Structure 1
Amino acid sequence: MLVVTDLIYSFTVVIIIQTGIFVLIKLLFTRDKPYISNKKNLLPHPPTFPIVGNLLQLNVRPLEKLYQWNIKYGPIYSIKLGQKYIIILNNHEVVNDLIVKQGSKYSSKYNFSNLNTILIKSNSTAFTPYGNQWKRDRSIAYSALTSRPIKSYYNYILKDSDQLLKVLMMKHGQPTYPLQIFKNFVLTNMLNILFGAQIKGNDDPFLKDVMKVMDDITEFSYPTSVLNDLMPILKYVYQPSNEKAVKVYQQMENLFSSKYNEFLKDYAQGKNLSPSFLSQIQDEIDEKGKNSIEYEDVWQMLVGLLNGAMETEVNTLMWAVACLANNPGVQEEAFKEIDSVCDKNMPMMVDELDLPYINAIINETLRYRPPNAFGMIHLSSEDDDYNGYFIPKGTPILLNLFAINHNERRFIAPDRFRPSRFLSNSSTGSVKTKSILLPQFEYDPSAIDKKRKSLFGILKNNSPSLTNNTMPMHMSFGAGRRYCIGQHLAQKQLFLVLARILWAFEIKPDVNKDGSMAEINLNDGNVSLTSYSPSPYNVRFLLRKDIGLLI
């Protein structure tokens, strides 16, 4: 038995050595061309390792490493992931100069050539190359996501948030990991908005089927899913199985195309349909002509919007609850504001302007822990020079949103969770491009008590659709022509849910064995290609209101 084991071991070593030699030879003859010409200035960059580039340095705490490189190499630098060169943008000014001012050069999106089609098809609008098709699809989707149609979705948000509170009420005082609760809320609410009051409760079979598909899609956003693209040489020694991807895609198509078919049938028959995203865009499609968009593009658009909401809103709620549990003082200020405005009535959408601190909490959460730390990777569509550095056509451009939102020149004490920085009695929330330091506004409870109506200026201009003269205070919804078009809907959903949770509950951390509060670790999180979520934690939701007000 020992001889056989030694033989197998020796054989394995020989195979590994032969494979390594083969890979090195292939690398020498098939490696990517340098992204910078020798005659051009090279962007600053960290040292790289053979074959893997900087991948190993990003294996543990990638956001922290990128942030360290930002401090060392400046607001724009390059890294090499495997055999791919990528440029990293780390502050508002550089993003404004390239992504905003030169949007025609930097508005395309980088598609990993070996990336599984699941990730592309489930983020179709986000991954579509810049051009006529992208402009068409985005215009149609945006028509259903402006302020007027969003108001027609309010009843869904109200109804689904009521159900969320009842679920949390059943958890009163118990250690609770709220991830699945928030996933159920966001998924239910988005399906109701997309299709029009279609979900009949948490036991709805369609809801369960879609949840399963959404969870499966998440697997394809793990960094390991792009290794073959970053290191094409791996194709000679490893080819990932495509079997599950094909199955997930078929399930995704069956679910969403069948629902879309049901809608088209009812729409063609002139039935009185509930307000929905589909109704809005179908009117837009009819106005532009039946052939203005392909059938497949529509149901993939639905998947993309749903997938984006699941990642952005669920992660934001998870980060917000964790931050609030660790910051009871922030909760106390929120309680004062909510109780003075709403008292025994649950917050409604009409209360939004009177609850500026709730919006400040949301925007500080988005700044402090962006739900997608990198956004979608941009792509340069032509050669360009920036401050003496050459950026060639076809270079992936990554927005380091975490570093951008933690810029000490723009945010005082960026590592502190401080919603008061988003409060102002006059500011529009935007800053001039040439500003070095963004004013930080301290929270003054007496100001709210005395002159609440003067605080309507909370981030009025926090839109990532930047102009050349203004920039948002955080950039978690992206920037330039590719900013997240679902931003305004997401902020309405987040406002009502968070306002109602804080109206009804006090959020406390779990308790240690010795009876002390177990502080949640906010420095560790799970980073994927499309999301940034906190590590698992438990909190307790303690009722602040009479139970009769919730049922």
Structure 2
Amino acid sequence: MGILSNSTIPYAGGLIILWWLYRLVKDRQSNPNRLPFPPGPKGYPIIGSLFDFPIYKSWLVYDKWFKTYGDMIYFEVLGQPFLILGSAKRTNDLFEKRSSNYSDRPRLPMAGEMMGWEYVLTFLPYGNWWRRQRRIFHDHFHPNIVHKYQTIQINTARAFLRRLLKSPDDFVHHIRHVFASTIIKVAYGITIEEKNDPIITNVEICLEGLAEAGNPGAFLVDIFPVMKYIPDWFPGAAWKRKAARWRHFNGLLRNGPWDRVKDQMKTGTAEPCIATSILGKLPDEGSPDFAEADFIGRDVCVVAFLGGADTTVSTVQSFFMAMCIYPEVQKKAQAELDEILRGRLPEFNDRPNLPYINAMVKESLRWQLVAPLAVAHMCTNGDEYDGYYIPKGTIVIGNGWTILHDPEVFEDPLTYNPDRYLKDGKIDPTVPDHNLASFGFGRRICPGRFFSDSSLFSIVAHILAVYDIRPGLDKDGKEVEIKPEMTSGLLSYPEPFACMITPRSKEAKDLIDNSSLMDILG
């Protein structure tokens, strides 16, 4: 299925020809050494590789293409050049060593202007506004400060154990709830409801839209921005109505919690959090600088909330799936936890003594990537690299899935195997890990990765300390075979699967029941 299925190409014929001619002339003028483009499918005149452009699980399609064309694939779709990178060497050469030219983002009219994601740090163009937002975000999530949030992470992890005990079949909902409740407490000091909280509903709707529209070319309007002026009632414009719905919920999420904290600060009822820290430093409301500072603070908080509420959700779902498929890994992890914990729940100060759990965190992030293609970069200026020419405006994508499933780096890469990171019972620092690709690349690497890492450790350690996870049963009482299938989109999740989650023993159940009494207060 290609890009045509998402839009209204019959209305864009003239634009296609004009755009192609413009690109053709421009590329010839800006490539003075007449270097070839990197290898890739040649496509057809004007439309390029339109009919080959992958939409469904495109990272797997590109992975196959690498075997034909090598670790760089270049192609064009309706005049828009794409470059897909399939090795750590290529991503390092361009995103790290030439970061000043490869840190911009492509314009995404659907996700940005039409759905309202243009303010999100992830999609901001490379420039001063991005630097200001990134700097404030870093102030609250750098590796030397995330320990401040461990109390909240421990408390929400233990509440998660209690929810699993009450309704284990709802584990997917509980996973989303635990991460949403953690980050909203950190960002806004808000405690969400146990059930049917409208904030979680808003998050789910917003991220549904992001997963569908976040990859360049998912909608034809990303190639031809003028299409955003097509009226909503026009035949074939259902995509515009989708955008309007998602934009509405994006606005609720962006403004609701922030305005709530502002009102709480006026009444003296706000809890200490990132929002109160930022609001306390804003200029006076009458100041000419207030509006801009308020916008940046608002956006930093909602970006933290969106990232923390969702990305690790997929990883934990994949972890549950892995425990069903690889019971021997689960038993090994539980043996390590039993030896260290001796009948209590884990704390963060146990982490140095739990190498196998730390290896599981690494493997969970590598095995099934949350964002297999990360977020696309853009080439700011035409570039010459390794004997090839890369035109200005090329959308450059690092295929993280291929990088983290390279059999020359990760033996038997489709297997979930934490032992690959261990040597003599300790983490082997010489082994490459998920940081090659799981959080993005270069200057645009996810700044919340340290918070995500500590949240994932806490959840994995807590779950395995007290629960056994097994595949669900069919009508004949036999365990259902679970295959590691993932959904398509910018954000990828495990396809629905059933599993049984039961306390490991009576003592484990008692720990769960009494965990509210053991929550850290602070």
1:142 Cα offset (Å): 0.7
Rounded Cα–Cα distance in structure 2 between residues aligned with 1:121 and 1:232: 15
1:261 Cα offset (Å): 3.1
Rounded Cα–Cα distance in structure 2 between residues aligned with 1:153 and 1:118: 35
1:158 Cα offset (Å): 1.6
Give the counterpart letter for 1:106 in structure 2: Y
For the structure 1 residues 22 and 245, does the alpha-carbon distance in structure 2 shift closer, same or farther, using more than 3 Å as the test?
closer
Q: Corresponding residue for 2:180?
A: 187
For the structure 1 residues 86 and 171, does the alpha-carbon distance in structure 2 shift closer, same or farther, using more than 3 Å as the test?
same
Asked if structure 2 preserves the Cα contact closer than 8 Å seen for 1:122 and 1:304, the reply is no
Give the gaps of 5 or more residues in structure 1: 1-18, 425-446, 449-454, 463-470
Query: Which aligned pairs between 1:529-548 and structure 2 lie closer than 5 A?
Result: 530-546=490-506, 547-548=509-510
Does 2:39 align with 1:41? no
Give the counterpart letter for 2:488 in structure 1: V
For the structure 1 residues 272 and 146, does the alpha-carbon distance in structure 2 shift closer, same or farther, using more than 3 Å as the test?
farther
Give identity over the alignment, percent.
22
Does 2:255 align with 1:257? yes
Q: Please, which of 435, 442, 447 is the counterpart of residue 480 of structure 1?
A: 442
Q: CA RMSD in A?
A: 3.3
Asked if structure 1 preserves the Cα contact closer than 8 Å seen for 2:216 and 2:222, the reply is no
Give the gaps of 5 or more residues in structure 2: 1-7, 514-522
Q: Corresponding residue for 2:4?
A: none
Q: Corresponding residue for 2:317?
A: 318
Rounded Cα–Cα distance in structure 2 between residues aligned with 1:188 and 1:391: 44
Rounded Cα–Cα distance in structure 1 between residues aligned with 2:206 and 2:18: 41
1:410 Cα offset (Å): 1.9
For the structure 1 residues 490 and 472, does the alpha-carbon distance in structure 2 shift closer, same or farther, using more than 3 Å as the test?
closer
Rounded Cα–Cα distance in structure 2 between residues aligned with 1:345 and 1:408: 39
Does 2:153 align with 1:157? yes
For the structure 1 residues 254 and 218, does the alpha-carbon distance in structure 2 shift closer, same or farther, using more than 3 Å as the test?
same
For the structure 1 residues 206 and 54, does the alpha-carbon distance in structure 2 shift closer, same or farther, using more than 3 Å as the test?
closer
Rounded Cα–Cα distance in structure 2 between residues aligned with 1:496 and 1:475: 22
Q: Please, which of 449, 452, 467 is the counterpart of residue 490 of structure 1?
A: 452
Q: Secondary structure at the match of 1:154?
A: helix
1:124 Cα offset (Å): 1.0
1:474 Cα offset (Å): 3.4
1:152 Cα offset (Å): 2.3
Q: Corresponding residue for 2:64?
A: 68
Q: Please, which of 49, 73, 82 is the counterpart of residue 86 of structure 1?
A: 82
For the structure 1 residues 338 and 278, does the alpha-carbon distance in structure 2 shift closer, same or farther, using more than 3 Å as the test?
same
1:415 Cα offset (Å): 2.1
* TM-score, length basis structure 2: 0.83
Does 2:273 align with 1:276? yes
Asked if structure 1 preserves the Cα contact closer than 8 Å seen for 2:50 and 2:78, the reply is yes
Q: Corresponding residue for 2:171?
A: 178
Matched residue pairs, number? 489
1:121 Cα offset (Å): 2.1
Does 2:376 align with 1:381? no
Q: Secondary structure at the match of 1:541?
A: strand
Q: Corresponding residue for 1:330?
A: 329
Q: Corresponding residue for 2:363?
A: 364
Rounded Cα–Cα distance in structure 1 between residues aligned with 2:437 and 2:200: 32
Q: Corresponding residue for 1:451?
A: none
Q: Secondary structure at the match of 2:81?
A: strand
1:136 Cα offset (Å): 0.8
Deviates most, 369-378 or 176-185: 176-185
Asked if structure 1 preserves the Cα contact closer than 8 Å seen for 2:203 and 2:306, the reply is no
1:83 Cα offset (Å): 4.1
* TM-score, length basis structure 1: 0.79
Asked if structure 1 preserves the Cα contact closer than 8 Å seen for 2:278 and 2:297, the reply is no
Asked if structure 1 preserves the Cα contact closer than 8 Å seen for 2:109 and 2:225, the reply is no
Q: Secondary structure at the match of 1:332?
A: helix
Rounded Cα–Cα distance in structure 1 between residues aligned with 2:280 and 2:422: 39
For the structure 1 residues 54 and 472, does the alpha-carbon distance in structure 2 shift closer, same or farther, using more than 3 Å as the test?
same
Asked if structure 2 preserves the Cα contact closer than 8 Å seen for 1:285 and 1:292, the reply is no
Rounded Cα–Cα distance in structure 2 between residues aligned with 1:485 and 1:109: 16
Deviations 1:68-89 (A, max 9, x none): 1112111112133454221011
Rounded Cα–Cα distance in structure 1 between residues aligned with 2:307 and 2:155: 22
